[in-house]
Structure 1
Amino acid sequence: MSNRWVLSEYDITSPYQQPAPFLKAAKLHGLSVTHTRMFGGRRDGVELLTVQNGDFSFTTIPTRGMGIHQAKCGETRIGWDSPVEGPVHPQYVPLAEPSGLGWLDGMDELIVRCGLESNGAPEFDAETGRLKYGLHGRIANQPAEDVVVELSDEGEICISGEVRETRFLCYNVALKTEIRTKSGEKGFRIRDRIVNRAAQESTAQMLYHINLGAPILGEGASVVCPVTQLCPRNDHAAKDLDTWSTYKGPTAGYDEQVYFMQLAADASGDTCALLKNASGDQGVSVHFNVKQLPYFIVWKNTAAEADGYVTGLEPATNFPNPRSFEEKNDRTLKIAPEATYEIDLGLQFHADAASVEAIESKITGLTAGQDATVHTTPQAAWCS
């Protein structure tokens, strides 16, 4: 049994048009959901769904591919301060801008999906110079269809929707997503299904750009993950290879550094990575399965606060190189007609030292007895 709230059946301009049975059932479990629509500027028309689960909350954006805008636990913000100051409506994000970097005009989420046709660096036609694939793909700037909020009798909220990436004669793939949280949980879980809606085989890529800033990110913060193989993306990243897992404070003029890796996992393929603050009493962990997302990227952008002080923990089906490079190295998904590729992802907040220590111990246990292979230079098969 569950209570359902179908957004399309209610007044989208009001946060209060929830069906009474849903609202009553949610309160029984200490939960609430607020639906709002933003007005003015580049945010105009953006719809938000905010789930309050005790002292933990998060906001998803149906207008922007069902990404997660920010989360919060008590007074601790889980997200970052982007100079973009979104969420920006997709109509103001110029994905086809000739440089291929138009995607950045909308980047300010905690979790933004990159894909589906491509998820990496811009790529241009060798003969004409025209843009073939823009940075990080289109899925994050497509609005969701059929958005439904459900509450189970056990006190679990599920927000579901479908995001379609379709171009006549070119591409026809959809993302069906469910975002879940249980009463009392300090986090949420995502199940994505990439569905090939075409009558022939399609390819796809997916990367979860999980962006974290202050207060968890700061001078002395560190990322903990069960690395089995690691290499710097370029020579600039290689210069600081010895400190790849630790962070500086905000630094004006900092040039981003990126590290590609593969992680150890348990017998089921489950693994996780942790960002913890300098004192080790707060952190955020990201949970995924290496059979679904076999690659992991750490993006360090510890620029000045005004320029976007942030790091990215990024599980992916491939590395974020130009699409043709990844295809050449057999890192694109091949999905049969009407077939589905499933991905599970979770994010959890750790509010004290004991919780941080417990998840860190779990992570280090995954590599017990294993030595990581650390490449001191970019690898030809990994880095374009």
Structure 2
Amino acid sequence: MKLQLIDVDHGIHETHNRISAAAGAASIGMTRLHGGLSDGVDVVTLNNGRLQLKLLPTRGMGVWKGEVDGVPVQWNSPVQRPVHPTWVDPMRLGGIGWVDGFNELIVRCGLGWHGAPGKDRITDSAGNVVAEPFLPLHGRIANLAAHSVTAELHEDQLSVTGVVDEGCLFGGWLRLQSTLRTRLNSAEFEIIDTVTNLAATPAESEILYHCNVGEPFLGAGSVLHTAVRELAPRNARAAEGINMWNLYEGPQTGFAEQVYFADPAPDVSGWASSVLADPESERAFAVHFDTSTLPWFTLWKNTGACQDGYVTGLEPGSTFPNPRQIEREQGRLKTLQPGESVTYRLRFEVATSKARTRQILDAVTALQVATPRTVHAEPKTGWAS
């Protein structure tokens, strides 16, 4: 069973019908928000009977929030509702205007660049500087709308596929085809993204999955469980907390963010895991990712006051979130040839019982025990900008 929710080329925008199964307990449908900064934002609601997710085609196919077994999976941002990209000026606040629309559970950063704002340096084959553009925070993809969105229900599998183009004259043409899929009555879902260079010239591309979690998974005593080969603070501020880099305190007014970069340790299949467990280890939010194309991991700790955004980010990426020039110089930035594609795969699970949480944590612990780990007290040369 298939339902075309959006098809700009054929004038399709479907908000009246939905597809459903299991006597209506599982369904996929779309609504459009009206009023305020959310005016014109499309929201696709996917419900598999146990897990509910709200996807945002208007915002790069990000996942706004979810719920599993009645437990909210989200964070409390000062940006309370989805913001239409029209209202986001990326150059505001010195190039961090991206945060004006930031409230998603999962938001992509990319595709041409991501990371901290800063000046890039473009050179020709002879090494001559031909341009020095200023690149604002986290790229364009989260503020671009899908021109095609399809919902499918096949046997026990539900999926939503969206296509988003990031392109402009003289600026390249990258296409994201994103599929989010899950199964009936499952607490898991996966994301499969393919990025293709549709231009006639090579294009640099990088991506980071900003996966953001708040209460009830995050609280005083919460722990991040992840197996890494190497980890380092991004800067002096992060170095202050290196002895408790994976431990969390309660909300603190005025808390200054801390960021840690890591080389994740994958299992025999090449997948790595990062799991946030609540203080009692009764619930957990797990991010599993394919390190063949997402070889780096960033941890963002922003445990400020609840009203200001009490949240942590688990962030698999093709690169670290440094200015693009740094990632290019360090050889982490990928160049796609004309017509070339790269596929990114992630799997998410929400554990709502102590038994399942323990199973997930035991797997991560076993992997770390088998992997030597180096934790640097200071920023690592070549990693931090």
Gaps of 5+ in 1: none
Q: Which amino acid aligns with 1:182?
A: R
Q: Which amino acid aligns with 2:192?
A: R
- State the alpha-carbon separation in 2 of the partners of residues 98 and 124 from structure 1: 15
Alignment of 1:113-128 (within 5 A): 113-124=108-119
Is 2:185 aligned against 1:184?
Answer: yes
- State the alpha-carbon separation in 1 of the partners of residues 169 and 106 from structure 2: 29
Gaps of 5+ in 2: 122-128
- State the alpha-carbon separation in 1 of the partners of residues 264 and 326 from structure 2: 22
Question: What's the counterpart of residue 74 of structure 1?
Answer: 69
Q: Which amino acid aligns with 1:256?
A: E
Q: Name which of 136, 139, 148 aligns with 1:137.
A: 139
* 1:126-167 C-alpha deviation (Å, 9 max, x unpaired): 89x986211000001000011100111x21111001111101
Question: What's the counterpart of residue 262 of structure 1?
Answer: 263
Poorly superposed stretches of 4+, deviation over 6 Å? none
Question: Structure 1's 380 and 307: CA in aligned 2 closer, same or farther, altered over 3 A?
Answer: same
Instruction: Name the SS for the 2:279 alignment partner.
Output: coil
Question: What's the counterpart of residue 3 of structure 2?
Answer: 5
Instruction: Name the SS for the 1:99 alignment partner.
Output: helix
TM-score with structure 2 length normalisation? 0.93
* 1:201-253 C-alpha deviation (Å, 9 max, x unpaired): 21100000000001110000010000110000011111111101010101000
* 1:90-128 C-alpha deviation (Å, 9 max, x unpaired): 00000233711110100000000000111110013689x
Q: Which amino acid aligns with 2:5?
A: L
- State the alpha-carbon separation in 1 of the partners of residues 133 and 204 from structure 2: 19
Is the 1:70–1:78 contact (alpha carbons within 8 Å) kept by the matching residues of 2? yes
Cα drift, residue 370 of structure 1? 2.5
- State the alpha-carbon separation in 2 of the partners of residues 109 and 370 from structure 1: 33
- State the alpha-carbon separation in 1 of the partners of residues 198 and 120 from structure 2: 27
Cα drift, residue 34 of structure 1? 2.8
Question: What's the counterpart of residue 125 of structure 2?
Answer: none
Question: What's the counterpart of residue 87 of structure 1?
Answer: 82
Q: Which amino acid aligns with 1:90?
A: P
Question: What's the counterpart of residue 173 of structure 2?
Answer: 172
Alignment of 1:32-111 (within 5 A): 32-97=27-92, 99-111=94-106
Instruction: Name the SS for the 2:384 alignment partner.
Output: coil
Is the 1:11–1:17 contact (alpha carbons within 8 Å) kept by the matching residues of 2? no
Question: Structure 1's 303 and 161: CA in aligned 2 closer, same or farther, altered over 3 A?
Answer: same
Instruction: Name the SS for the 2:359 alignment partner.
Output: helix
Q: Which amino acid aligns with 2:349?
A: Q
- State the alpha-carbon separation in 1 of the partners of residues 196 and 254 from structure 2: 42
* 1:175-226 C-alpha deviation (Å, 9 max, x unpaired): 1111101111112100000101011221100000000001110000010000
- State the alpha-carbon separation in 2 of the partners of residues 103 and 55 from structure 1: 32
Q: Which amino acid aligns with 1:7?
A: L
Question: What's the counterpart of residue 17 of structure 1?
Answer: 17
Q: Which amino acid aligns with 2:355?
A: A
Q: Which amino acid aligns with 1:41?
A: G
- State the alpha-carbon separation in 2 of the partners of residues 125 and 200 from structure 1: 19
- State the alpha-carbon separation in 1 of the partners of residues 24 and 290 from structure 2: 30
Question: Structure 1's 236 and 140: CA in aligned 2 closer, same or farther, altered over 3 A?
Answer: same
Is the 2:37–2:83 contact (alpha carbons within 8 Å) kept by the matching residues of 1? yes
Q: Which amino acid aligns with 1:363?
A: V
Instruction: Name the SS for the 1:231 alignment partner.
Output: strand
Instruction: Name the SS for the 2:325 alignment partner.
Output: helix
Is the 1:224–1:274 contact (alpha carbons within 8 Å) kept by the matching residues of 2? yes
Instruction: Name the SS for the 1:220 alignment partner.
Output: coil
- State the alpha-carbon separation in 2 of the partners of residues 28 and 132 from structure 1: 53
Instruction: Name the SS for the 1:158 alignment partner.
Output: strand
- State the alpha-carbon separation in 2 of the partners of residues 314 and 11 from structure 1: 34
TM-score with structure 1 length normalisation? 0.94
Alignment of 1:1-384 (within 5 A): 3-8=1-6, 12=13, 14=15, 16-18=16-18, 22-23=19-20, 26-28=21-23, 30-97=25-92, 99-124=94-119, 132-152=134-154, 154-384=155-385
Instruction: Name the SS for the 1:230 alignment partner.
Output: strand
Q: Which amino acid aligns with 1:5?
A: L
Cα drift, residue 366 of structure 1? 1.6
What value does the CA root-mean-square deviation take over the aligned residues?
A: 1.8
- State the alpha-carbon separation in 1 of the partners of residues 108 and 281 from structure 2: 28
Instruction: Name the SS for the 2:371 alignment partner.
Output: coil
- State the alpha-carbon separation in 1 of the partners of residues 351 and 91 from structure 2: 39
